[in-house]
Amino acid sequence: MKQQLESIQKKALETLETITDIRELEDFRVAYLGKKGELTRILKGMGALSPEERPLIGQLANEVRNALEEGIATTRGRLLRVAREEKIRQETLDVTMPGRAKKLGRKHPITIVLDEIKDIFLGMGYEIAEGPEVELDYFNFEALNMPKNHPARDTQDTFYITEDVLLRTHTSPVQARYMKDHKPPIRIICPGRVYRSDAVDATHSPIFHQVEGLVVDKGVTMGDLIGTLQVFAKGVFGEDTRIRLRPHHFNFTEPSAEVDVSCWGCGGTGCRICKGEGWVEILGAGMVHPNVLREGGIDPDVYSGFAFGLGIDRIAMGKFGIDDMRLLFENDIRFLRQF
């Protein structure tokens, strides 16, 4: 009987090696360990053994059973592994096929640039002020030191509604309004839509967008203006950006400057974007004119301030390399989805 058991174990373990699927394994288990299985059958014959032999054979039979169960478990593990590998092999995807897009919408490039600018100035303690687009001549011009029939008005071809009401030509009237309602210290930016009577072409639009900044406090210097503009320029165009101020004339600031940034296309060596100059003009700025402070109810002998203004559309065009301004207002989906 001992021999019988040993040969069963040997044969069974050999058979296990050849099993290749899980149903076969189940059949095997039944064949050996099932109620009518081989091992069971042999153990049923134990009654015929002598009392001395019985524990020995019993122990041996248990060992064989354990060996078979272990063999079955190992084989099951092997088969599952093989089966899983096969499944994996079969369900392998072509991962280069396109994803199932959940198409997010995109913000307009002007919004993207404006958000960046807002972030920079919010971080420096500015608030965001807003005002009407259909504006009084008074706030758009007169409060900004440009009385009626002033030649400087020519540079801002204006849409008029009536003699005293117009479409604002810059966001500066928001500053004028803000100064009337707020006492210094003032730190604001005023983003918004502005209007000039320019025909539509690749570089002009009768409607475009500006951000103006205004700071009024005791002892504000032109150095503060330059430092602030440096932070702005680096924030928008990158850390290596340099700025250059050229004297200019605006009625609402004195001294006034036009401000160039080192070209984002070439870094200053000269290219098509900067027309070989190495610099690109992006904004106008200056120290708030005493007449403007006075008109806003602020004493220019006590307070000083600076202001700056820039066109968002042109910065967006520069930043994204957009070569035709009309694209910004055409709203072709294929354009909008590039940003």
Partner 1 sequence: MKAPLNWLKDFVDINVGIKEYVNAMTMSGSKVEGVEDLGEGIEKVVVGRILEMEAHPNADRLKVCKVDVGSEVLQIVTGAPNVKTGDLIPLALVGAKLPGGQIKASKLRGVESYGMMCSIEELNLSRDYLPDAPEDGVYVFSEELEPGTDIKEALHLDQVVEFEITSNRPDCLSVYGLARETAATLGVPLKKPDIRVKEEAGGDASDRVSIEIENPELCPRYSARIVTDVKIEPSPYWMQHRLAAAGMRPINNIVDITNYVMLELGQPMHAFDFSCLTDSKIVVRTAREGETLKTLDGQERKLDTSMLVIADSQRPVGIAGVMGGENSEVTDQTRMLLLESANFNGASIRVTSKKLGIRSEASGRFEKGLDPENTIKALDRCAELIELLGAGKVVRGIVDCNMTRKSQDTIKLDPDRINALLGTEITAEKMMDIFRALEFEVDPNTMIMKIPSFRSDIESVADLSEEVARFYDYNNIKPSLLSGKESMRGRKSYKQRMEDVIRNTMCACGMNEAFTFSFTSPGVFDKINLPADHPLRDTVVISNPLGEDYSIMRTTTIPDMLRILSINYSRKIETARLFELSSVYHPVDGEELPEEKSVLTLGMYGEGCDFFELKGVVEELMTAMGIAGYEFKPEREEPSFHPGRTASLMVMKSDGTQLKAGILGEIHPEVAEKTECPERTCAALFEVAVLIDASSLSRKFKALPRFPAVPRDIAVVVRDEVYVADLMKAIVKAAGEILEDVSLFDVYKGSQVPEGMKSTAFALSFRSADRTLKDEEVNTAMEKILKSLEYQFDARLR
Residues with Cβ within 8 Å of 277's Cβ and at least 6 positions away in sequence, in order, are 260, 263, 270
On whether the CB atoms of residues 308 and 259 are closer than 8 A, the answer is yes
Instruction: Single out the residue of 231, 302, 324, 326 in contact with partner 1 (rule: CB under 8 A).
Output: 231
CA distances to 126, 152, 220, 265 from 212, rounded to whole Å, are 12, 19, 17, 25
**Nearer to Zn ion by C-beta: 225 or 263?**
263
Judged by CB under 8 A, the number of residues near partner 1 is 85
- Other beta carbons within 10 angstroms of residue 264's beta carbon come to 21
User: Nearest to residue 339, comparing CAs of 120, 115, 96?
Assistant: 115
Residues that bind Zn ion (CB under 5 A): 263, 265-266, 271, 273-274
Distance CA(82)–CA(88), nearest Å, equals: 10
**Nearer to Zn ion by C-beta: 278 or 309?**
278
Look-up of token digits 């021999």: 3
Binding of partner 1 by 187 (CB under 8 A): yes
Looking at residue 239, its amino acid is E
**Nearer to partner 1 by C-beta: 16 or 196?**
196
User: Nearest to residue 215, comparing CAs of 236, 229, 230, 194?
Assistant: 229
On whether the CB atoms of residues 322 and 338 are closer than 8 A, the answer is no
**Nearer to Zn ion by C-beta: 102 or 272?**
272
CB 302 to partner 1: min, Å: 12
Q: Which residue is nearest to Zn ion (CB)?
A: 263
Distance CA(140)–CA(133), nearest Å, equals: 10
Residue ranges in the chain assigned as alpha helix (H): 2-18, 22-33, 38-44, 53-90, 109-123, 137-140, 172-181, 222-237, 290-295, 312-320, 327-330, 333-336
93 makes contact, choosing from Zn ion, partner 1, none, with CB < 5 to 8 Å by partner type, with none
On whether the CB atoms of residues 168 and 200 are closer than 8 A, the answer is no
234 makes contact, choosing from Zn ion, partner 1, none, with CB < 5 to 8 Å by partner type, with none
108 makes contact, choosing from partner 1, Zn ion, none, with CB < 5 to 8 Å by partner type, with partner 1
Instruction: Single out the residue of 235, 265, 290, 311 in contact with partner 1 (rule: CB under 8 A).
Output: 290
Residues with Cβ within 8 Å of 55's Cβ and at least 6 positions away in sequence, in order, are none
**Nearer to partner 1 by C-beta: 27 or 164?**
164
104 makes contact, choosing from partner 1, Zn ion, none, with CB < 5 to 8 Å by partner type, with partner 1
User: Nearest to residue 280, comparing CAs of 246, 239, 322, 325?
Assistant: 246
Among the listed ranges 1-9, 58-66, 195-203, 265-273, the one in contact with partner 1 (CB under 8 A) is 195-203
**Nearer to partner 1 by C-beta: 32 or 232?**
232
Site track 94-133 with partner 1 (rule: CB under 8 A), x = hit? --------xxxxxxx-xx------x--xxxxxxxx---xx
**Nearer to partner 1 by C-beta: 265 or 290?**
290
**Nearer to partner 1 by C-beta: 13 or 138?**
138
Site track 127-166 with partner 1 (rule: CB under 8 A), x = hit? xx---xxxxx-----------xxxxx-xx---xxxx-xx-
Site track 241-270 with partner 1 (rule: CB under 8 A), x = hit? ---xxxxxx-x--xxxxx------------
